[in-house]
Amino acid sequence: MRTRGLPLRDAKDTRLFLAGVIATLALLVYLAVAFVRTHTAVFPTASNQPSKIAPWSPSASKLVPGRRLKHGGYAVRVTPATRRPGTVGSYGALVQTLIPNPVPGREYIVRLGLRGARPGPIHLELNEFRGSASHYPVKTTVPATAKWRDFTFRTRVRGSWLGLALYVYRVDRGRRTWFAVRGLTVSSPRR
């Protein structure tokens, strides 16, 4: 019985080499498309621009981006979601996770600028949270003025927490009012 072998290709035949190059290019294109689809913040498109109010979320309020800051980011104006004369309630802006998994014992320094349409108090709370438990290491009130004022708050994390949140709010007494925040930074001095 006679078996036929496959004919050997000439050493100058480049079909196998070209097939490998094409497969490699197809794999690179596939990886590039997958990267862009999963990293849209790195490559924003017209329909997916980075948020001008990030990292803030509204709390019974509307957040309107203001002027772009020199070092990046935006000033954000916070207004009540509803304006009903005679109603009392709070409205504000929340950073749900300012620091994820803060290191126990580490000090964190939070800085931000505030201003208000009318004089009066603006409340600020730093909240350590895990599950349904919370602890408020900073719970304070600062005066609102028509000019920007910068504030610095320090806290040392005591215990193990899922995160550190920030809530800035004002009590709405039914008057046309707003406040604005800008330049939020968080740092931790090294020991």
CATH 3.30.420.40 matches 57-187: no
Please report which confidence band the pLDDT of residue 25 belongs to, taking 50, 70 and 90 as the band edges. Answer: confident
* Domain ranges (residues) in the chain: 12-50, 57-187
Q: How far apart are the first and last CA of the chain?
A: 83
Residue whose token pair is 């201003």: 115
pLDDT, tens digit (0-9, with 9 covering 90-100), for 64-90: 988 777 766 678 999 998 766 666 788
Query: Which pTM value belongs to this model?
Result: 0.69
pLDDT of residue 44: 39
In tens, the pLDDT along 90-135 reads 899 999 999 999 999 999 999 999 999 988 899 999 999 888 888 8
